Amino acid sequence: MRATREEYWQFSLPEKLLFYACALASVGYMCWQIWARVQLWMSGRPTGEVRQGKQYWMPTRAGLERWFGKVWTYILLQKKVRSSRPKTGAPIHLMMFYGFLALFVATTLLGINTYSPIKFHQGTYYLAYEVIFDTLGLLLLFGLIWAIVRRGSTKEPISKDSVDMQVLWLLLLITVNGYLLEAARIAINPQSQKGWDSVSWVGFALAQPLAALKGNVLAYKALWWFHALCVFVFFVLIPRLKLRHIVLAIFSAAGSPDTPMGKLRTIPMEEVEQTEQIGVKYARDYSRWHLMSLDACMECGRCTEVCPANAVGKILNPKQIVQDLRGAMASGAEVVPSLDPEALWQCTTCNACVEACPVLIRHVDIIVDARRNIVSEGGLSGSAALVLRQTASTGNAWGTNGNREEWMQGLDIPLARTTSEFEYLFWVGCAGATDAGAIKTTKAVADLLKTAGVSFACLGNEEACTGDPARRLGEEFLFQEKAMENVSAFERYGVKKIVTACPHCFNSLKNEYGDFDAKIEVFHHTQLLQTLVSKGKLLAAKPERGSVVMHDPCYLGRVNDESEAPRALVEGMVNPEFHSQKTRCCGAGGGRMWMEEALTERPSNARVEQLLATGAKTVALGCPFCKIMLDASVKQVTEEEINLVDLAEMLQQANSKASVT
Ligand code: SF4
Ligand code: SF4
């Protein structure tokens, strides 16, 4: 006789029918609940593929490949969870996920064997099935126990929501009961005498103390029904609790936008004419995917853990924003009053939350779309509103002082309008042309380009703000106006390549100007300088090992995933605790640089403390905004002499020393 086991052992037809009826009722209820949410998501903006002006719901082959790629990376490989800190419960989630997945696969295989004409649950396959899934189920068991202990611990800074705890207990009950059921079957069923039950080793071990149950079919049935009842309750709860992420995370990952993290949606003018509204007023104004992703939130709090505003005690809490929006989606209430408007303005658009979120929620899209609506209704005042007025009237976020050619005096900087041919447009940016600290960087970049023999030119007074602060403050059409103005300057001078020392300009030019027909290759200055160093045209700086710490700007290290180029320029730099894609924000992005901030609530203070904890006395930078923010904080955090220097300045110093020697 081949090794196997009988399904529904000792169950009569009426008992089976009762089971099917209960299963149908619980699964039906779950589907009905999900359908109610699907209708809410479908009220949003369509997100299917648009091809030749038509909306298609069936994706192309390439689209399907992208979907599967994302499910593989973010769901099956758990990329985001694996890269998060163990403190966030990452190992626990991984154990529970893989244990749950294993049991799901085991149940599905069993179901196919039971309800299809193909019978394969026997012989060697059966033996392998039993040993593998008996073992993998332990991952879920131990993960659940660990999660319960962690939640119960007073030392852990984790939500103590009693419902979460009850769900964990329910899952633990189902898992333990599953093993007990197996043990009871082995103890009670004479099949165990056939010798192959020992491969179900966990159940087999548990069966030994249950030997007295031999032949007690009633006890087996009682356990079986209890197990089934717990599973039915589990199905009913899935759509009602954060358990729903078990299903929705797959759809959230698969359908997540393919656009770069740093690209915000360009609002077409026709949309404004049709809807007579800018930005998001009601939840239905978000895309269908954005609405669905809200329901996929697993309430893990990773977004809030990395939020620089929340870390310094501000009320901004990205997890809460997602929860409040879910409420607004269900109730049909207006978005802005449902969130805290003050919190919306505290966001630096640093994208740390987006990078951390395991279900790929795009908090920054959500926040900026709400800001757009506030701005369109005249709800922005104070210094942020002043920046918008200055950008509109002078083309410089810093306002009237922004003569973009003053810094060039005596430096013989080529201008596009007087240079017949050049390879790179050196995009200086508002800060680079206006702020004293940033001008030092601008001059260093120009000097290095000359030293390395790079053919370049600047637009000078023909350059206007990229519109990045305006866009992120919610003034979409001021951004579009500046983008079109700049793109026409690129066309005028045949610009193909741009280099800039500002990661915010870099991001907008690289990721957002494509919507305005810009056909340009864009480089952050560290990227071009890295190429020049690798070609031997410039020398890398070699300070004393460990004396320099690298602060990755959010819009370079995280949003544009560039952290190698800066490190290729200066040898022996140390990293702070949070660096590269996990860098922490200086607090300047999203227009925050121009907003009032209480001294105790500056993200830059926290960042300076993290940087100085390395013991380094020089901080290497790659962003003018970071330089301004960190400079203001250094004085508050320490009395020591700390140097804040852009990487270009360090390289300039190294190369001028080399030319002297
Ligand atoms: S983008 Fe940054 S500041 Fe804004 S909510 Fe996310 S983590 Fe917080
Ligand atoms: S939004 Fe993402 S990171 Fe934040 S709690 Fe929800 S799932 Fe976690």
pLDDT of residue 54 exceeding 90: no
Give residue 403's pLDDT: 86
Q: What is the pLDDT of residues 32-42, one digit of tens each?
A: 999 999 999 99
Give residue 86's pLDDT: 74
pLDDT of residue 194 exceeding 80: no
CB-based contacts of 200, cutoff 8 Å, min separation 6: 130, 131, 134, 182, 186
CA–centroid distance, 92 to ligand 2, in Å, is 16
Q: What is the pLDDT of residues 442-472, one digit of tens each?
A: 999 999 999 999 999 999 999 999 999 999 9
State which of 242, 244, 299, 306 you would mutate to test the pocket of ligand 2, scoring each by most atoms of that ligand within 8 A of its C-beta.
299
Q: What is the pLDDT of residues 515-560, one digit of tens each?
A: 999 999 999 999 999 999 999 999 999 999 989 999 999 999 999 9
CA–centroid distance, 279 to ligand 1, in Å, is 19
CA–centroid distance, 320 to ligand 1, in Å, is 12
Give residue 462's pLDDT: 95
CA–centroid distance, 290 to ligand 2, in Å, is 13
Q: What percent of the chain has pLDDT over 90?
A: 81
State which of 93, 298, 362 you would mutate to test the pocket of ligand 2, scoring each by most atoms of that ligand within 8 A of its C-beta.
298
CA–centroid distance, 301 to ligand 2, in Å, is 5
Rounded to 5 degrees, what are φ and ψ at 54?
-110, 150
Residue nearest to atom 6 of ligand 2 (CA): 297
User: What ligand 1 atom has the least distance to the C-alpha of 348?
Assistant: 3
State which of 264, 304, 305, 316 you would mutate to test the pocket of ligand 1, scoring each by most atoms of that ligand within 8 A of its C-beta.
316
- Fold type of domain 391-533: Rossmann fold (3.40.50)
Protein residues with CB under 6 Å of any ligand 2 atom: 297-303, 318-319, 322, 356-359, 361
Q: Is 596 exposed, middle or buried (0-12, 13-18, 19+ CB in 10 A)?
A: exposed
Give residue 269's pLDDT: 92
Among 1-10, 62-71, 89-98, the minimum mean pLDDT is found in 1-10
CB-based contacts of 510, cutoff 8 Å, min separation 6: 262, 522, 560
Give residue 400's pLDDT: 64
Report d(CA 535, CA 528) in Å as an integer.
11
Identify which ligand lies nearest to the alpha carbon of 261: 1
Residues 343-357: what's their mean pLDDT?
97
pLDDT of residue 8 exceeding 90: no
Give residue 2's pLDDT: 76
Q: Are 579 and 552 in contact (CB under 8 A)?
A: yes
Q: Is 650 exposed, middle or buried (0-12, 13-18, 19+ CB in 10 A)?
A: buried
Q: Are 261 and 361 in contact (CB under 8 A)?
A: no
Question: Which residues in 126-140 are b (16+ Cβ under 10 Å) and which e?
Answer: bbebbeebbebbebb
Residues 221-241: what's their mean pLDDT?
94
- Fold type of domain 537-660: Rossmann fold (3.40.50)
CA–centroid distance, 355 to ligand 1, in Å, is 10
Residue length, the chain? 661
- Going by pLDDT thresholds of 50, 70 and 90, the confidence category of residue 58 is low
User: What ligand 1 atom has the least distance to the C-alpha of 364?
Assistant: 1
CB-side neighbour CA atoms (13 Å) of 209: 4
User: What ligand 2 atom has the least distance to the C-alpha of 302?
Assistant: 3
Q: What percent of the chain has pLDDT over 70?
A: 95
CA–centroid distance, 466 to ligand 2, in Å, is 31
Q: Are 476 and 278 in contact (CB under 8 A)?
A: yes
Give residue 9's pLDDT: 79
Report d(CA 89, CA 10) in Å as an integer.
42
User: What ligand 1 atom has the least distance to the C-alpha of 589?
Assistant: 3
State which of 314, 345, 353 you would mutate to test the pocket of ligand 1, scoring each by most atoms of that ligand within 8 A of its C-beta.
353
Give residue 284's pLDDT: 95
User: What ligand 1 atom has the least distance to the C-alpha of 351?
Assistant: 1
Give residue 156's pLDDT: 64
Q: Is 618 helix (H, G, I), strand (E, B) or coil?
A: strand
Nearest to 480 by CA among 391, 554, 590, 398: 391
Nearest to 397 by CA among 361, 421, 366, 433: 433
CA–centroid distance, 339 to ligand 1, in Å, is 15
644 residue type, one letter: L
pLDDT of residue 575 exceeding 90: yes
Q: What is the 3-state secondary structure (H, E, C) of 535-592?
A: CCCCCCECCCCCCEEECCCHHHHHCCCCCHHHHHHECCCECCCCCHHHCCCCCCCCCH
CA–centroid distance, 36 to ligand 2, in Å, is 22
377 residue type, one letter: E
CA–centroid distance, 80 to ligand 2, in Å, is 11
State which of 312, 315, 324, 585 you would mutate to test the pocket of ligand 1, scoring each by most atoms of that ligand within 8 A of its C-beta.
585
Question: Which residues in 451-487 are b (16+ Cβ under 10 Å) and which e?
Answer: bbebebbbbbbbbbbbbbbbbbbbbbbbbbbbbebbb
- Going by pLDDT thresholds of 50, 70 and 90, the confidence category of residue 189 is confident
202 residue type, one letter: V
CA–centroid distance, 632 to ligand 1, in Å, is 21
CB-based contacts of 389, cutoff 8 Å, min separation 6: none
DSSP track, 174-228: HHHHHHHHHHHHHHHSGGGGGS-GGGSHHHHHHHGGGGGGTT-HHHHHHHHHHHH
Give residue 358's pLDDT: 96
Among 374-388, 431-445, 486-500, the minimum mean pLDDT is found in 374-388
Residue nearest to atom 7 of ligand 1 (CA): 307
- Going by pLDDT thresholds of 50, 70 and 90, the confidence category of residue 420 is confident
Identify which ligand lies nearest to the alpha carbon of 307: 1
Report d(CA 206, CA 194) in Å as an integer.
18
CA–centroid distance, 221 to ligand 1, in Å, is 53
CB-side neighbour CA atoms (13 Å) of 478: 26
Give residue 597's pLDDT: 84
CATH of 262-376, one of 1.20.120.1200, 3.40.50.1100, 3.40.250.10, 1.10.1060.10: 1.10.1060.10
Q: Is 180 exposed, middle or buried (0-12, 13-18, 19+ CB in 10 A)?
A: middle
Report d(CA 216, CA 184) in Å as an integer.
9
- Going by pLDDT thresholds of 50, 70 and 90, the confidence category of residue 192 is low
Q: What is the pLDDT of residues 625-648, one digit of tens each?
A: 999 999 999 989 999 999 999 999
Q: What is the pLDDT of residues 141-188, one digit of tens each?
A: 999 999 999 988 867 666 667 888 999 999 999 999 999 999 998 898
**Single pTM value for the model:** 0.92
Identify which ligand lies nearest to the alpha carbon of 242: 2
Residue nearest to atom 8 of ligand 1 (CA): 307
Q: Is 450 exposed, middle or buried (0-12, 13-18, 19+ CB in 10 A)?
A: middle
Report d(CA 75, CA 183) in Å as an integer.
32
CA–centroid distance, 136 to ligand 2, in Å, is 27
Quote the distance between the C-alpha of residue 353 and its chain's center.
Answer: 5
CB-based contacts of 366, cutoff 8 Å, min separation 6: 280, 286, 290, 321, 322, 325
Q: Is 130 helix (H, G, I), strand (E, B) or coil?
A: helix
Give residue 56's pLDDT: 58
Average pLDDT, the chain: 92
Protein residues with CB under 6 Å of any ligand 1 atom: 306-309, 316, 318, 347-353, 363-364, 585
Give residue 85's pLDDT: 80
CA–centroid distance, 516 to ligand 1, in Å, is 27
CA 22 vs CA 17, 170, 228: distances in Å: 9, 18, 9
Q: What percentage of the chain's residues is helix, strand, coil (to nearest 5)?
A: 60, 5, 30
Report d(CA 244, CA 91) in Å as an integer.
20
User: What ligand 1 atom has the least distance to the C-alpha of 349?
Assistant: 1
Residue nearest to atom 3 of ligand 2 (CA): 357
Residues 111-119: what's their mean pLDDT?
92
Report d(CA 170, CA 180) in Å as an integer.
15
State which of 302, 364, 581, 625 you would mutate to test the pocket of ligand 1, scoring each by most atoms of that ligand within 8 A of its C-beta.
364
CB-based contacts of 586, cutoff 8 Å, min separation 6: 551, 553, 554, 603, 604, 607, 623, 625, 626, 629, 630
Report d(CA 569, CA 525) in Å as an integer.
11
State which of 97, 300, 320, 321 you would mutate to test the pocket of ligand 2, scoring each by most atoms of that ligand within 8 A of its C-beta.
300
Identify which ligand lies nearest to the alpha carbon of 559: 1
CA–centroid distance, 31 to ligand 1, in Å, is 34
Q: What is the pLDDT of residues 587-610, one digit of tens each?
A: 999 999 999 888 788 999 999 999
User: What ligand 1 atom has the least distance to the C-alpha of 354?
Assistant: 6
Q: What is the pLDDT of residues 281-294, one digit of tens each?
A: 999 999 999 999 99
User: What ligand 2 atom has the least distance to the C-alpha of 298?
Assistant: 7
CA–centroid distance, 361 to ligand 2, in Å, is 7
Residues 38-49: what's their mean pLDDT?
86
Question: Residue 541: beta bridge partners?
Answer: 570
